[in-house]
Structure 1
Amino acid sequence: MSAPQFTGILAAVVTPLTEDGSAVDAAGVQRQADHIIGGGIHGLVPGGSTGEFTTLTLGERKQVTELYVEAAAGRVPVIAGTGALSTAETVELSVHAQKAGATAVMIVPPFYDAPSYEELLAYFGAVSEAIDIPIMYYNIPSASGVHLTPEQLAKLARETAVSSYKDTGGDFAWLSAVQQQHAEDITTLNGWDTLTFAALASGAKAGVWGTASVIPRLCADLYDALAVRGDLHAGRELWAKIFPICQFLESHNYACGIKTGLDLVGVSAGPTRRPVLPLAPEHRKEFRALLTAAGVETADDPVAA
């Protein structure tokens, strides 16, 4: 099995839904893919937290993977979120993702009854035996309850098909320890919006970033400035525009914030599923102002209209 070295910004993408939220909107998936890839983003990650995977049926999760792979049409890699509460369901989703053409899978540990480390090794080991594409470990301790040491994460990578990890832990010292001490075992991808500048500047090769779904060109430009050209001055100028947007998104339900942003830039993806409610009008107005301040062209707000 070859393990691709993910580089660039991989957009954590939404699950577009029909107006009543009852079904996946296939045309909306194509619209998202074209908007994001056209903005210079380097990959798509459906089926994660931004994609509201916990509200989707098993069939819908498979459908979303298929639709994004089809919409990407080989232009960029697609890393499908396949984590679930049981090993059997995670294996089923991961096998399906491989057959559908995903480049890799992203797997969050079971997130209700947090597994022990031995159980985690067995869980990822079972998926590794079932598929021939790499696994991205989704580190999100606040949701999973799983807190690994850098050494444990490196061992997980050595003993399974885990080759990279998305870090949504918010602990930059922890990320740095993995990045500096275990780079031979596992590739670091930042997944905490407001740490993006710091992670890229310190050498992270990639990031999985929901904000890239809304403002893909600014996010791609930030990566180019920091990770490709090493231009800190240009990176700081871009970050001054992007950071307030990231800060805003982290202060609200994230998937709802991203879908609101997509409304505001004219690439609507429909509502979030209940129990998540729409952002209040004053927050939509605040978000529009942040986008305008960043130089992002906004569309007529379909909610305000």
Structure 2
Amino acid sequence: MAELKGIIPVLPTPFTDDGKSVDYGKFEELVEMAIQDGAHALCLFAAGAEFYKLSMEERKELFVRAVQANRGRLPLVATVSSHATALAVREALYYEKKGASALNIMPPGFAMPSQNMVAGHLAEIGRNVELPMIIQYAPALNGMSIAAETFSGISSNLRQELYIKLEASPTGPAITALKKATENRYKIIVGNGGECMYEALVRGAAAVMPGAALIKPYRMVYDAFSQGKEKEAFELFNRYLPHIHLMQRDIESFVAMEKLILKKRGIMTNSVCRKPANYPDKETMALLDKHLDYVKREFGIA
């Protein structure tokens, strides 16, 4: 597979109005929407998809539906989030067999595993699959730090293409430090809604993994930067940055606002998140509407 690069949105999971079932038909429409909006690849079952509220059966069905709707047009990144190594390997092998292009691995975070335990978990997955692997490094999300030496140890025993999805602060210096410490064995993908996207691109990041509600502004920034138009990329990014800042709250609020935007765009029929959920208050909703109107006008979004 070619290198993962560009804009790789995390697709949200649409639910029925009562939240009891996944709306698989609407999910297939979201796959098509993301492709048409300019995604370079699609990520499934990451935090922005409420993976922790999905059964394994639902995740498997969502993956099959994504493959069907995608029709081979974009790389599909499947997230492996099982805490037990044996289950994570089983999960990874399933997605590999069913057509995933890469795996996004969430390291085990419950009960404070040691660095050696985390390294062993990740290396064992890598030894059992051939797919490129993204290791999600998000200490604010799962409460775990991973040392640069741990990343180096993991990579020394694996053959496949390796990435770090970096959601640590300060992002820019962390990119430089990780690339140096691991001798560029890993390519970098940044998350956190793309809040540090421009700085990350300047420091050599390969991709950005934001939400899927508004893909076009990220694509415009990325294209301008890739074409050597750094001034244009900088200006585009700074016009979009206030909206990204508004979205960067807890993960539950982020997911709820993503769904609210998709509903306002007429793409989703509801904005249901499975409970427990955290929807914005009235004042935040009013501000979200102002930001959305501005972004749609400035970036030509329907």
Counterpart for residue 29 of structure 2: 31
Please give the alpha-carbon distance, in whole angstroms, between the structure 1 residues aligned to 2:265 and 2:155.
Answer: 39
Q: Report the identity percentage.
A: 22
Match of 1:77 in 2: 75
Structure 2 partner of 1:206: 207
Which residue identity lines up with residue 236 of structure 1 in the other structure?
F
* Structure 1 equivalent of residue 230 of structure 2: 232
Deviating runs (4+, > 4 A) in structure 1? Answer: 296-299
> Cα deviations across residues 31-74 of structure 1 (Å, max 9, x unaligned)?
11111111111010010000100111111121222222222211
Task: Return 157-166 or 270-279, whichever deviates more.
Answer: 157-166
Q: Is the 8 A contact 1:21 1:270 kept in 2?
A: no
Distance 1:279 1:297 in 2: 25
Structural RMSD (CA) = 2.0
1:303 — aligned with what?
none
Name 1:217's counterpart in structure 2: 216
Give 1:111 shift.
Answer: 2.1
Q: How far apart are the structure 2 equivalents of 1:214 and 1:182?
A: 34
Alignment coverage as a number of residue pairs: 294
Q: Counterpart in 1 of 2:246?
A: 248
Decide whether aligned partners of structure 1 residues 67 and 114 sit closer, same or farther in structure 2, where only a CA change above 3 A counts.
Answer: farther
SS at match of 2:293: helix
1:297 Cα deviation after fit: 6.6
SS in 1 for 2:209: strand
Q: Specify every segment of 5 or more residues in structure 1 that has no aligned partner in the other structure, as ranges.
A: 300-305
- Is residue 283 of structure 2 the alignment partner of residue 282 of structure 1? yes
Residues 189, 204 of structure 1: 8 Å contact kept: yes
Give a deviation string over 1:248-271, Cα, whole Å, max 9, x none: 110352211211221122211641
CA distance in structure 1 between the partners assigned to 2:101 and 2:145 by the alignment: 27
CA distance in 2 between partners of 1:14 and 1:72 (Å):
15
Distance (Å, rounded) in 2 between the aligned partners of 1:118 and 1:142? 20
SS at match of 1:189: strand
Q: 1:183 to 1:223 in 2, by over 3 A?
A: farther
Counterpart-to-counterpart distance in 1, 2:132 and 2:113 = 21
Matched residue type, 2:166: D
Provide the C-alpha distance between the structure 2 equivalents of 1:54 and 1:225, rounded to a whole number of angstroms.
Answer: 36
Q: CA deviation at 1:137?
A: 0.2
Tell me by how many angstroms 1:154 deviates.
2.7
3-state SS of 1:45 partner: strand
Alpha-carbon contact 2:89-2:125 (below 8 Å) kept: yes
Find the aligned partners of 1:289 and 1:57 in 2 and give their Cα distance. Answer: 36
2:84 to 64, 76, 86: 86
For residues 168-197 of structure 1, what are the alpha-carbon distances to aligned partners after superposition, in whole Å with 9 as ceiling and x for unaligned?
A: 123322222123453531111111231111
1:189 alignment counterpart: 189
Post-superposition shift, 1:11? 0.6
Other-structure match for 1:260: 260
Question: Cα gap change, 1:36/1:150 in structure 2, threshold over 3 Å: closer, same or farther?
Answer: same
Normalising by structure 1, we get a TM-score of 0.90
In structure 2, how many angstroms separate the alpha carbons of the residues matched to 1:291 and 1:200? 25
Q: Which residue of structure 2 lines up, in the alignment, with residue 302 of structure 1?
A: none
Equivalent-residue separation in structure 1 for 2:62 and 2:69 (angstroms): 10
Q: How much does 1:100 deviate? A: 1.6
CA contact (8 A) 2:119 2:153 kept: no
Alignment partners' CA distance in 1, 2:15 and 2:301: 21
